[in-house]
A and B are shown apart, each in its own frame.
Chain A
Amino acid sequence: MEFSELQRIAAEYQAQRKPIRIRYCHAAGCQSCGSLAVAEALQREVSAQGLTEEVEVCPVGCMRLCGRGCLVDIQGKLYERVRPEDAPSLVASIKDDSITPTAPAGSYDHPFFAYQLPIVLENCGKINPEEIDEYIAVGGYQQLEKVLHSMTPQEVIREITISGLRGRGGAGYPTGLKWSTVAKMPKTPKYVVCNADEGDPGAFMDRSVLESDPHRVLEGMAIAAYAVGANQGYIYVRAEYPLAISRLQKAIQQAKRREILGSQIFGSTFDFKIDIRVGAGAFVCGEETALMASIEGKRGNPRPRPPYPAESGLWGCPTLINNVETFANVVPIIREGGEWFSGIGTATSKGTKVFALTGKVKNTGLIEVPMGTTLHRIVMEMGEGCADGKKVKAVQTGGPSGGCVPVEYFDTPVDYESLKSLGTIMGSGGMIVVDEDTNMVGLARYYMEFCRGETCGKCIPCRTGTVQLYQMLTKILSGEATEKDLESLRQLSALVKETSLCGLGQTAPNPVLSTLRFFEQEYKQLLKS
């Protein structure tokens, strides 16, 4: 496989395409509202109307406005809530402008799309994720080829460092620094791990990327492996994502067949293999040390750090572990250059961030915006506030590890530092909108119930503290608590936060502390006088 071969594949693939394409979303969101049946109806209609020569019905990844699925795009026109019975008019409208399709028309000029800057999602909703040639046709794997033939590992790392990319898993550790640490470790073998154990309630960014553009992640991992000197990669993905798993499997198979994964990639001396490890449904396995234990076949328990995975990870070897979205950012950075990437975003948070906008918001879906976009723009303009005329009260970022931001602070630009100063975190990108009817104590208890069920049980504060915190919140909600209980709640939250072994416990009290900070009145109203 050489560069010319990539170009040949791309050209051949383009040549066999038909001029008119009906794209339909076949990611999990739209599939759940029947997009496969819609596709079948569209295909049938194309045949019936004798258009098979010029029209093809193409499955693509997530088209982002998930709340209005099934989504269908016909030559740049968006249709929402498409049902199979809309197929005749949709197909007929291709040739006859006077026919108005029965499905509601959407608009890419809507703020939901207009404010987006797709970098990670640039191919999402455009290409068929199950077809490697389509990825190659949009320039896929060219950056890997470029890196292997014209860049040293140090140059790759320098580019990533210049870009200012920070880990998209939540903590925001500088990616370039992490890569160079692993690269400098003398011990071999080394490993590259992709953390796809997205487990926050309401988060579906990584799932969408894997379902929509899996090759992008594989290419990013391969570039990372070349940069740090690894020859084996693992993608740790949760079993709850069957579609993402099957697409990843397909992608790896196809990449192997095209000799893009395997030995002597692009005729270089670089070998790289990727295997999938399927998690068994434990939230804590998203914590990197627990994740690695799970890959090794052990119980997914976290262990104290240091040593960090960069020094001693999988089987005691240096391991680079990044999140799906981080790896998905690698290809554009190599293609456009680190300088270009660092020109996007804010002073400390570069590039874009993908968010899963959900909860009591009118426009539910996947968005990618430049860092520094305000919460107001995201929730009120792109999301258009609440669906049923209710008032937006707050937005929860970072899931069970994060906190809420009340509507008064919606002029906050979304970046790692601003969110931290409000007592919440960027997290992996879940954004759950809360309306005026939501009881914030109940919200805090919901997240505590989640953590109580997901703590691994290894360290005392997390195992026993989450149970006690949940009981205290239940007592407050039942109206039986006193001022003293509120004080105990604060004390215990501080203990769990400060003494827990891993990130799960250290962040588990955040929803409590955050709602106490901004909505203390709601707690006080529930106290027994």
Chain B
Amino acid sequence: MSVVTLKIDNVDVAIEAGSTILQAAREAGIKIPTLCYLEGVSPVGACRLCLVEIKGSDRLHASCVTPVSEGMEVFTQTEKLKEYRKMLVELLFAEGNHICAFCVSNGNCELQDVAIEVGMDHTRFNYRFPERDVDLSHPLFGIDHNRCILCTRCVRVCAEIEGAHVWNVAFRGAAAKIISGLNQPWGEVSSCTSCGKCVEACPTGSIFRKGVTTAEMKKHPDYIEFLHTAREEHQWTR
């Protein structure tokens, strides 16, 4: 295995070749905000929050899917990136019906955390107030589409770790929606093993355990990473 060295925000970093910029940044203690990224499942580069600038390129690159290369100079906190990240989070808030005040995940929500991280104090965009439903047909869990940001972490964790393929995305654009089975009520999808990995993977209060109330739903996305490491490397470390 070879090692490459690069500069991230003028900090020298050495890391295994084949790693991503995001991994290198995290190893160096440089924080890049993410939402769709989840350690343990494949990256999709969809939320665009982890975009970085690379010297010599006029494009922005999603750090979760861009491999490091020798001598690369990466900038993660330019004014442009900060402004774009803030706008992206504002767009998300305007898109769904995100009402922190009575959300099960209030205080333990990655969307909320990212909003703080990017310094969002309001959204400049008009709210869409979409009509979305809540599916409580599963005996243990529920999904509230009002809080969904379509990060597809549930889809990936169910397909890649549990192998049950309960979740998928249906429809296009603003109508895009996470569906269970063949767009059936979750409780009627026989392939669901009720393992609850999607609950842990969901960054917001969209997928939750029934019976919890405001601010009680604590998620453990690191559980997915634990499972992945255990399976791939036979290391049972928390």
Contacts and interface: CB of A to CB of B under 8 A. Distances in A.
B86 to A, nearest CB: 10
Contacts of A455: 172-173
A464 B174 CA distance: 7
Interface residues of A, number: 31
6 contacts: A303-B45, A454-B173, A455-B173, A456-B172, A459-B45, A460-B92
Contacts of B124: 488
Given A492-B87, A499-B84, A463 B173 contact: yes
Contacts of B99: none
A453 interface: yes
Nearest to A506: B59
Interface residues of B, number: 33
Interface string A290-317: 0000000001010110000000000000
Interface in A461-485: 461, 463-468, 471
A498 interface: yes
Interface string B144-177: 0000011010000000000000001101111110
Contacts, number: 93
Contacts of A299: 168-169
Interface string A427-457: 0000000000000000000000000111111
Contacts of A495: 84, 87-88
Interface of B: 44-48, 51, 59-60, 62, 65-66, 84, 87-88, 91-92, 94-95, 124-126, 128, 149-150, 152, 168-169, 171-176
Interface of A: 282, 284, 299, 301, 303-304, 452-461, 463-468, 471, 488, 491-492, 495, 498-501
Contacts of B126: 468, 471
Please name the 5 residue pairs, one residue from A and one from B, whose CB atoms are nearest each other, closest first.
A457-B176, A304-B45, A464-B91, A455-B173, A304-B65
Given A303-B44, A457-B150, A499 B171 contact: no
Given A488-B124, A498-B60, A459 B174 contact: no
Given A282-B172, A453-B173, A500 B44 contact: no
Contact of A459 (B48, B94, B95, B172): B48
A196 B66 CA distance: 30
Contact of A457 (B66, B128, B172): B172
A454 B171 CA distance: 10
Contacts of B44: 303-304, 458
A199 B205 CA distance: 38
Contacts of B91: 460-461, 464-465, 468
Given A303-B45, A468-B125, A488-B124, A460 B88 contact: yes
A460 B92 CA distance: 7
B84 A457 contact: no
Contacts of B48: 459-461, 499-501
A452 B94 contact: no
Contact of A499 (B88, B94, B175): B88
Contacts of A454: 172-173
Nearest to B128: A467
Nearest to A282: B172
